[in-house]
Structure 1
C-alpha cells in the first residue's frame, strides 16, 4: 500500500480546523524539519478545499442574487424603456 495520509476533510469546518492545527504547529517552532514539507502539503490541500467551498457558496449566491434576470420572474414594469 502507499504512504499513510490523513483522510481528506469532508467539510469546510474540518479543513479550516486542519489549517489552524498546522499553523499552530509551524508557529510553535517545534515542528521537526522533516515534518515541515508534509505539513505544508497538507495545508495546501486544506486551503484548496476551504477556497473551493467558499467559491461554491459565492457561485450559488451570485446565481440567486446576480445581475441576470430570472426567466421565471415576471418583468418589472419600471424597467421597460417603452412609454
Structure 2
C-alpha cells in the first residue's frame, strides 16, 4: 500500500473533498494539520516547491498537488496505479 501524506487544515473544504476521495478509495493517510502546528506550513512549502495552499498531497514522497490535482489524476486513471504500488 502506498504511503500517503496530506498537509491540511481542518476547516478547508478542498481538504475535505480530498479526504472523501481517499476514503472512497479505501486509503489511509497521515495528515499534518498546518493550522494546529504552523511550523508544518513551512515544511509543506519546502516539500511542495513553494506552494502555500492546502491540501498538499504526497504519495510515496512524490508531490501530487492539491485537491484539483488529485481529482484530475484520478479522472485520467493515474491515481489507482499509484495507490496500488
TM-score range, shorter chain: under 0.3
Name the structure where helix makes up a greater proportion of residues.
Answer: 1
TM-score (norm 1): 0.27
* Structure with greater strand share of residues: 2
- Larger RCO, structures 1/2 (Cα 8 Å, 6+ apart): 2
The alignment's TM-score, normalised by the length of structure 2, stands at 0.26
